[in-house]
Chains A and B, each alone.
Chain A
Amino acid sequence: MTQPVLSVRDLRVEFVTRRGILKAIDGISFDIGKGEVLGVVGESGAGKSVTGSAVVGLIDPPGRIAGGEIWLSGMRIDNLPPEEMRRVRGKRIGMIFQDPLTSLNPLYRVSEQLIETIRTHTNLSASGARKRAIDLLAEVGIPAPERRIDSYPHEFSGGMRQRVVIALALCAEPELIIADEPTTALDVSVQAQIISLLKRLGREHGTAIMLVTHDMGVIAETADRVAVMYAGRIAEIGPVRDVVQNPLHPYAKGLMGAIPSLESDANRLVQIPGSMPRLSAIPPGCPFNPRCPYVFDRCRVERPEPIQHSEHRVACHLYDQSPVRSEAVA
């Protein structure tokens, strides 16, 4: 297997608060290969966005990376000094945020923001950077970019602004793009355009993409593999088709069961009873055990480690047993 673009090993992120240390990310590991799209799903507070921020080194105090390693194309980046990490950000890792309306500085022209970013990471001249900025806008599908480039952000629509944000993330041709809920704030029709744009960019440039979202539809359409997160841990990770159609982890089952389908005629969508535990009150053992329909004694005392099961990796004691037992559940 070739070297993955991003490799995260046993990453832990903590927030130090007055009432003690909260573990926002508690030992997660995953890889993203060249040109691959990894979807990261989970409820709010499951640690999806924190994972993205940790990878680009933007965890602000009181948060901190408490352990584990992050490797970018064979280079360890989680312990880089701040100035070197800044050079990695934007140049080798591009980031896209949720709300295009607030991601751009309202007081600067799009051209100024693009050229500033390009010139920070390359040694292009001002005119060279401007030419590249126009090319980038064309690439992300902004019509008449040479005319639009000197507009201010508020003169663009939401979808167009998200394209500008993507162009900004692409300025230095990064190896990895972290897209944190890139479509959540957009209309459905615009969502589809942005998703296909991301897919095309990944395909054409071989960029690895980490797509953080809570929208399973977006994941199913875009991702090659998907990681389901719950309470700061990865419950299940595997190829997107397998995970969507045949989820193993009880939480993943619940999550997929909650997606409405046009074909089947279900009267009620399946709900997962209860809600995710607060970070200050994660139960011992498996964090999902109070809500799990298949819970048994071991779940309440022992934390399940991820185990390989066919093409998935799943953190659940059910699959640590004989095949008979898991058959009975599935």
Chain B
Amino acid sequence: MFAFIIRRALQAIGVLLAVGIISFAMFRFAGDPVNQIVSLDTPAAEREQVRRSLGLDDAVPVQFARYLGQAVRGEFGVSYQFRQPVSDLLAERMPATLELALCATLFATGFGVLMGVYSGLKRDSLLAKVFQTISLIGISLPTFLIGILLIYLFAVTLGWLPSYGRGDTVRLGWWSTGLLTTSGLKALILPSITLGLFQMTLIMRIVRAEMLEVLRTDYIKFARARGLTTRAIHFGHALKNTLVPVITIVGLQFGSVIAFAIITETVFQWPGMGLLFVQAVQNVDIPIMAAYLMLVALIFVVINLAVDILYTIVDPRLRTSIRQPA
């Protein structure tokens, strides 16, 4: 097990190195950063000085090594537009995005699994057909449209929920949370649904298909022949066997939810990393874009590793095969 984690960690470092090269390359190909910092009438000598102070006159490999060294320590340079360290900016925005992603994932997993199990067990019932229809909408409607529709219905027409922002937040150390105030929780509802709807329908469809598949297996038939209760068969034996694909989807989608919260954050003016990234793109603020890229890569890699470890907890057969690699 330990060797397995080490092996996966080495692979993860390889992935991060590759992403590092790409994000570093952005500095060189997305225009001259000096032009972004100085004004149009800055004399050439002063430009040279800025260039030197940023280390942009060194050889490319030296710059890359310096970039990586700083990245490992969590330093991604100074934002061109805000004149603040990028790491501070991201740290400030991260809680908003993570809380949103977490709520969206919880919403998607909870409802997705429930609806999936239900429509797997009672696939001919009316409610199951309603779920199937909802899932079709969830899969085919683009996120921004869902967000706008929700805002129109619940914020504009009914006036129940805020249409933008995080509401009041409470600071716990460096982490600012909206989970502890009523307005913060209310502000979370619409963006979470918007962000999680696609995942929810995906999870629901997978759980449904897996349930149908598992219920046909011999061990379910044998469990019935042993006279176990329907409850024990459905929720003990069948549901657990559907979990491996569900974990894969929830895990990988959690990464996507964080990375693609950009759209939802823009629609709801949610002060998270996604909104920061969109502003950075508009202003060619390369340090922020590069750091964001690295961060998203790191999140994906960590989640992948966590998913692999979770598999072995659910399915004992994988434990043996990891202990004795074939």
Given contact pairs A107-B241, A107-B316, A99 touches B218 in the complex (Cβ within 8 A): yes
B305 at the interface (CB under 8 A from A): no
Q: List CB contacts (< 8 Å) of B176-232 with chain A.
A: 217-219, 221-230, 232
**Which residues does chain A contribute within 8 Å of B227, judged by CB atoms?**
86-91, 117, 120-121
Provide the bound-state CA to CA distance between A152 and B317, in Å.
Answer: 8
B226:A171 contact, CB within 8 angstroms: yes
**Which residues does chain A contribute within 8 Å of B241, judged by CB atoms?**
105-107
**Which residues does chain A contribute within 8 Å of B236, judged by CB atoms?**
116
In the complex, which residue of chain B has the Cβ closest to the Cβ of A121?
B227
Question: Shortest beta-carbon distance, B27 to chain A, in Å?
Answer: 49
1/0 contact string of A83-102 vs chain B (CB within 8 Å): 00011111100110101001
In the complex, which residue of chain A has the Cβ closest to the Cβ of B230?
A86
B320 at the interface (CB under 8 A from A): yes
B316:A152 contact, CB within 8 angstroms: yes
Given contact pairs A86-B227, A90-B228, A107-B314, A155 touches B320 in the complex (Cβ within 8 A): yes
A106:B315 contact, CB within 8 angstroms: yes
Given contact pairs A105-B237, A116-B228, A97 touches B316 in the complex (Cβ within 8 A): no
**Which residues does chain A contribute within 8 Å of B230, judged by CB atoms?**
86
Given contact pairs A86-B227, A90-B225, A116-B228, A103 touches B218 in the complex (Cβ within 8 A): yes
A89:B219 contact, CB within 8 angstroms: no
Question: Shortest beta-carbon distance, A123 to chain B, in Å?
Answer: 15
**Which residues does chain B contribute within 8 Å of A116, judged by CB atoms?**
228, 232, 236
Given contact pairs A103-B219, A165-B222, A154 touches B316 in the complex (Cβ within 8 A): yes
A226 at the interface (CB under 8 A from B): no
Question: Shortest beta-carbon distance, A92 to chain B, in Å?
Answer: 9
**Which residues does chain B contribute within 8 Å of A165, judged by CB atoms?**
222
B226:A56 contact, CB within 8 angstroms: no
A168 at the interface (CB under 8 A from B): yes
Provide the bound-state CA to CA distance between A171 and B315, in Å.
Answer: 26
Provide the bound-state CA to CA distance between A138 and B229, in Å.
Answer: 27
B217:A102 contact, CB within 8 angstroms: yes
**Which residues does chain A contribute within 8 Å of B315, judged by CB atoms?**
106-107
Question: Shortest beta-carbon distance, B134 to chain A, in Å?
Answer: 27
B222:A117 contact, CB within 8 angstroms: no
The SS class assigned to the B binding surface is helix
Provide the bound-state CA to CA distance between A39 and B237, in Å.
Answer: 32
Residue among A87, A88, A102 facing the most chain B CB atoms (10 A cut-off): A102
In the complex, which residue of chain B has the Cβ closest to the Cβ of A102?
B218
Interface bin, chain B: 20 to 34
B240 at the interface (CB under 8 A from A): yes
B232:A89 contact, CB within 8 angstroms: no
A95:B222 contact, CB within 8 angstroms: yes
Provide the bound-state CA to CA distance between A253 and B224, in Å.
Answer: 37
A120:B316 contact, CB within 8 angstroms: no
Given contact pairs A106-B315, A106-B317, A107-B241, A120 touches B221 in the complex (Cβ within 8 A): no
Provide the bound-state CA to CA distance between A97 and B217, in Å.
Answer: 12
A103:B222 contact, CB within 8 angstroms: yes
A58 at the interface (CB under 8 A from B): yes
In the complex, which residue of chain B has the Cβ closest to the Cβ of A114?
B226
Provide the bound-state CA to CA distance between A102 and B220, in Å.
Answer: 9
Provide the bound-state CA to CA distance between A110 and B306, in Å.
Answer: 28
1/0 contact string of A65-87 vs chain B (CB within 8 Å): 00000000000000000000011
Q: List CB contacts (< 8 Å) of A300-315 with chain B.
A: none
1/0 contact string of A144-170 vs chain B (CB within 8 Å): 000000001011000000000100110
Question: Shortest beta-carbon distance, A90 to chain B, in Å?
Answer: 3
Provide the bound-state CA to CA distance between A117 and B317, in Å.
Answer: 22
**Which residues does chain B contribute within 8 Å of A91, judged by CB atoms?**
227
B218:A120 contact, CB within 8 angstroms: no
B226:A102 contact, CB within 8 angstroms: no
Given contact pairs A97-B221, A105-B219, A89 touches B317 in the complex (Cβ within 8 A): no
Question: Shortest beta-carbon distance, B96 to chain A, in Å?
Answer: 38
**Which residues does chain A contribute within 8 Å of B221, judged by CB atoms?**
58, 97
Provide the bound-state CA to CA distance between A171 and B226, in Å.
Answer: 9
A129 at the interface (CB under 8 A from B): no
In the complex, which residue of chain A has the Cβ closest to the Cβ of B227?
A90
**Which residues does chain B contribute within 8 Å of A87, judged by CB atoms?**
227
In the complex, which residue of chain A has the Cβ closest to the Cβ of B243?
A107
A104 at the interface (CB under 8 A from B): yes
In the complex, which residue of chain B has the Cβ closest to the Cβ of A174?
B227
B219:A104 contact, CB within 8 angstroms: yes
The 14 listed contacts between A and B (C-beta, < 8 Å) are A87-B227, A89-B227, A95-B222, A95-B226, A102-B218, A103-B218, A104-B222, A117-B226, A120-B226, A120-B228, A121-B227, A152-B316, A155-B320, A169-B226
Additional A-B contacts beyond A86-B229, A90-B228, A97-B218 (10; CB < 8 A): A56-B225, A89-B224, A95-B225, A99-B218, A102-B218, A102-B219, A103-B219, A107-B314, A120-B229, A165-B222
Which 9 residue pairs are nearest across A and B when measured between Cβ atoms? Answer: A90-B227, A89-B227, A95-B225, A102-B218, A90-B226, A103-B222, A152-B316, A105-B219, A117-B226
